[in-house]
Structure 1
Amino acid sequence: MNDLERLVAQYAARRLSRSGFVRRLLALGVSVHFAEALVGMPLGRALAAPAPPAPSRTPRIVVVVLDAFRADYQKLAPMPNLEWLMQRGTSFPNAWVGHLESMTPASHATISTGAAPTHHGIIGFSWRDASSGKEDLAAWYGAVLAGRLEEQLILHNVNSIPQAVKSADPTARVVAVSSEKYYAADAIGGHSADYILYGLPNNHTITTMGIPHHLPPASFLKKKSLSRPWPLRYEQYDEMSMTMALESLRAFDPRVLLINMPACDTYGHQVGGPATPDVMRRLVAGADAQLGRMIRAFRDRGILDTTLFVVTGDHGMIPNTRQVRDTDIKSEVSIAGGDILFNTGGTSSYVWLRNPAEASLVAQRLVRHVPYAAFAHYQTLQNGTYTYHLVTRPGAKADPALEAAYQYLFSTFAGPTSPDVCLWLEEDTVIRNHIDGPPTAAHGNHGGATWGVQQVPLVISGPGVKQNNVSDFRARLMDIAPTVLAVLGLRPDRMDGVALSDALLKPTSAQTEAFGSLATSLASHQKAIVARHTADTGAGARS
């Protein structure tokens, strides 16, 4: 069934209003004469029909990811629209990423699939290909356009919000958007999304494009509202993302709308995130304004009360209060006898070796000689099991609770593609490379396991959810998809997360049991990571 046939079937089943049917016909590029023949009246009369789209049998889903939005950013500026969503839903003030790496591609895939990175295959921006042993740059531009990121999801046979919704209703539309982060939109939309949109800068203009195999009609991409002067400034990053989303809402009437809003990440990297509160305050207010646009658009279409909204972040951000040069890390690896295949990381260093047998010696060298090194782990493979082993600084004692927390995080990404050595730095320490400017320049980063990069907001709001409810559960990004599917009455097959039963109006006994079985261990792990944050910075944190 092609797009036109699917659209006609929806209209025939009375799941679209006449005006909505006409708008989507025109978005497909059909002629005015053909559209009038289908609806049996002039287009002006058809478009004037006031009836909103017929409500769906199940709630619509909107997931908004505020990129690099630390939970404590909510204190920087009033957020009345987020607060409105909180009042009609459940908020999780102790939410966290809950996996490694704390990077955009990994987190967006986890939000959508409910799976840990080791199970959906996207552990960061790059990893070691398990077959060739070479670096796999699947989350970079050319590879994303070639479908390499989606291949990981297919090869790992994971479920997702888009896939589950479309399996239950093949006529449902799924749209994923980001003003500049093609890898975020592709990772959260995956192979089941109908349309995946992103902004492509070209000289002095940024224009909305589509990921191949997820292209909307050409007439849609030509809308003037979907282009902007480049470079974008401050709130414009989030404004363009929301405009993409709302234009998609009008044109395609999606059942699932997935929105990446990147402003806090774009400027957090440039100015150090929390180190520059005046800049972040402006971006926080701007993000809330876009949530307000979204709420008004859904209210105007008469679908606000039948839509489930999720607002979260994909990771946090820390400033470069302390810095370590990437070249120094590479030098120490070489001195220890390590042969680097490649290394990544912003607030921790992930090292892949051509000679992984030397990983133990490399970890010992790094923890002793790299400034601000807290501790390290190296990976071994024994009897088919990948295990990370702790290396502390000379004379330092291991913290059993913190080590248990890190072993939990390792369980979310350890495997044949993960790094041989992980070097963990003190909180608010950033690895500096040649693109970061002079050492005195403020910038920020993420990627590791410290609290500043793990903390995120989480609000779930709408039908099937308790209102004005606050949960102290340490909700993880992998718990979002199972919770969404629980509201829809769909099974969360092949998902690592659990349905957040204390947010649900009618949780099942199985959901409540699975939820309760994790509460104590997740609280212990998070408290250990927060305690390390407090010891490193002397700052308070959420309990």
Structure 2
Amino acid sequence: MLKKPLLAVFTVMLLTSVAVATGPPSMRAAAETVQSDRPGRVLILVVDAFRPDYVERFNMVNARSLMSEGATFPAAIVGHMAAETVTGHNVMTSGLFPKHMGWSNEVFRDVDNVLGEGRGAYFVTSSLSCDQFRELTLAGGYPKLADYLDTAFPDGKFVAIGQKPTAACPAGQPADPDDIVITFGGRNFDCDGDGTANWRGPTGENVPAYIAEPVCGRYYVDSDSNLDYGTASTAPAWMYPLDGNRFVPGYDPAHLGGDVWAADAAIDVMRNEPDWRGMLVSLADVDKAGHMWGPDDPGPTGSTDPQAHLEFAVKTADAQLGKILGALTAHGVDDETLVILTGDHAIQQAVRHHGIDEASRGNFNWYYGQDSDETYLSPSPALQPVVDTGNADFLYQDGHMAAWLSDTSKGALRQAATVMRTLPDVIATYYREQSRYRLAWAGGNMSAPERTWWAQHRQLVDTMAAPYGPDVVGLLRDRTSYGVAGDHGGHQKEIQQIPMVFAGPGIVAGSRPGVEARQVDLLPTILDLFQLSHDPAHRLDGTALPVR
């Protein structure tokens, strides 16, 4: 049994969150039919940009309590590239590397015209709609966690919840009519009567009426871009500032946003959908704070609100973990629920930053190129040598560098890799040969620890090698970014290392297996614990972890 969580409430504001009700009889009856060593439900809790050191550094009492009750993998890593939200959530629920999913990075080249804008059309995946993620996963034709749970529990539901469409939609699509995806939509509502539609409401797939209604009810939040908590005028956060209460709770008790919004939605679903069998809840506030300030965030500057900083975000996330785990206990299903706690990626400080540190530069630092509705043609000076080749269709750079080229002949690939090696703090360059990347060059100022990690994890770059992925890749030194103050995406140890905990039926409490667990191993491990066979027609890239 999961212990009663420590509901750490560190600000009066959080006391206003939705209360947990006692589980309905149908939910309690379902719990009684499940074998004690075989889960009947799975709950995946994802803290976006979760670093292992946050648990002790910020005294995450609920995360630590869960670790004591389950199997913790201290050597766990993301295990793929690009190490980003938009890839990780589908890796977890598919058991596939990005090279086999249908997209593998923050930029997507639609080589098969899946999204209908022509072969080779480009898309920024962070801007894809939930319907577009549905089309991509359907085109892949592979089963996901929801499909496997349907075979064991035909009347069950799979639910994916998160503030980011890039988290909830890849995790939950393609959703069946009984499944649920809940995320934030655009600024489509005027809920404060000021004549401007700058509030966000819930959207996704099969969003229940108790979440969506009434319009301007609990799950609608103020997303005015002027509500930036001081981040829009304070470096380095101003590169990627807050835009309302999407990634912070805010101070309106009737419309709390951020991780509180996601946790309350999850608890409401548990209360109203007793037949849920799988649920993924993604909490995004830690990621936003990490991007704005980096993991070394010193805290409020005098011009910024505490809610805009990392410590507040991490403690808020931990409190939501406690609330959600408390809901399992209140509904009487804690004994039958496999709980997984992890991150979609970690994050590193941009000690060596090669973007432009100016207001609203984040997307222009990350992207160079244009698609049908977005244009980013103001690159940082460090990128100019690649731009000057005239062969760059699209560039993306965070903790790694990725280039999609017009001319993909071998000579052009080699030329681009040669130019990329001249950019600041690049330590290795690759060009794609079908389903793998060929090393073009390695060296630079690689330190001994950097070289050791790179040598031990050379396979990471190959996990995104696909026609829709980048043609040329550059790996960067530790603590280097071309994007914002804290960044993800790359092969580096600080970006790759994440917490990973399994707790619940059949799990050895307090164990610490030494294996280097990966996100791609989550689905095979869930299938093993549920005693379900994977579809032999669709090979998994992951393997079951030793948690029993």
The bucket for the TM-score relative to the shorter chain is 0.7 to 0.9
Structure 1, gaps ≥5 residues long:
1-46, 437-442, 505-543
Given residue 391 of structure 1, which amino acid in structure 2 is its aligned partner? W
How do 1:169-188 residues align onto structure 2 when only pairs under 5 Å count?
A: 169-179=153-163, 181-188=164-171
Compared CA separation, residues 206 and 84, structure 1 to 2 (3 A): farther
- Tell me what 2:408 maps to: 356
Q: Secondary structure at the match of 1:472?
A: coil
How do 1:195-344 residues align onto structure 2 when only pairs under 5 Å count?
A: 195-200=180-185, 202=187, 206-211=199-204, 214-222=205-213, 224-230=217-223, 231-232=244-245, 234=248, 236-253=257-274, 254-276=276-298, 279-325=309-355, 326-335=379-388, 337-344=389-396
User: In the aligned structure 2, how far is the partner of 1:60 from the partner of 1:418?
Assistant: 34
Tell me how far 1:467 sits from its aligned partner.
1.0
CA RMSD in angstroms, aligned pairs only? 2.6
Equivalent residues of 2:88, 2:344 under 8 A apart:
yes
Given residue 315 of structure 1, which amino acid in structure 2 is its aligned partner? H
Equivalent residues of 2:426, 2:444 under 8 A apart:
no
Tell me how far 1:330 sits from its aligned partner.
3.9
Tell me how far 1:293 sits from its aligned partner.
0.5
How do 1:122-521 residues align onto structure 2 when only pairs under 5 Å count?
A: 122-131=103-112, 134-137=120-123, 139-141=125-127, 143-145=128-130, 147-179=131-163, 181-192=164-175, 194-200=179-185, 202=187, 206-211=199-204, 214-222=205-213, 224-230=217-223, 231-232=244-245, 234=248, 236-253=257-274, 254-276=276-298, 279-325=309-355, 326-335=379-388, 337-357=389-409, 358-368=412-422, 370-381=423-434, 386-393=436-443, 404-432=455-483, 443-493=485-535, 494-500=539-545, 502-504=546-548
Compared CA separation, residues 229 and 302, structure 1 to 2 (3 A): same
User: In the aligned structure 1, how far is the partner of 2:481 from the partner of 2:262?
Assistant: 28
Which of 26, 30, 35 pairs up with 1:55?
A: 30
User: In the aligned structure 1, how far is the partner of 2:144 from the partner of 2:199?
Assistant: 30
How do 1:6-85 residues align onto structure 2 when only pairs under 5 Å count?
A: 53-56=28-31, 57=34, 58-85=39-66
Equivalent residues of 1:135, 1:342 under 8 A apart:
no
Compared CA separation, residues 258 and 403, structure 1 to 2 (3 A): closer
Q: Secondary structure at the match of 1:55?
A: helix
User: In the aligned structure 2, how far is the partner of 1:304 from the partner of 1:481?
Assistant: 20
User: In the aligned structure 2, how far is the partner of 1:456 from the partner of 1:355?
Assistant: 37
Q: Secondary structure at the match of 1:85?
A: helix
| Percent of aligned positions that are identical | 25
User: In the aligned structure 2, how far is the partner of 1:367 from the partner of 1:48?
Assistant: 58
- Tell me what 2:75 maps to: 94
Equivalent residues of 1:351, 1:421 under 8 A apart:
yes
User: In the aligned structure 1, how far is the partner of 2:111 from the partner of 2:181?
Assistant: 28
Equivalent residues of 1:269, 1:444 under 8 A apart:
yes
User: In the aligned structure 2, how far is the partner of 1:73 from the partner of 1:377?
Assistant: 33
Structure richer in helix, relative to its length: 1
1:112 aligned onto 2:93: yes
User: In the aligned structure 2, how far is the partner of 1:252 from the partner of 1:140?
Assistant: 29
Higher relative contact order (CA 8 A, sep 6+): 2
Tell me how far 1:135 sits from its aligned partner.
4.0
Equivalent residues of 1:379, 1:386 under 8 A apart:
yes
- Tell me what 2:10 maps to: none
Aligned residues: 438
Tell me how far 1:273 sits from its aligned partner.
2.6
User: In the aligned structure 2, how far is the partner of 1:166 from the partner of 1:192?
Assistant: 11
Q: Secondary structure at the match of 2:173?
A: helix
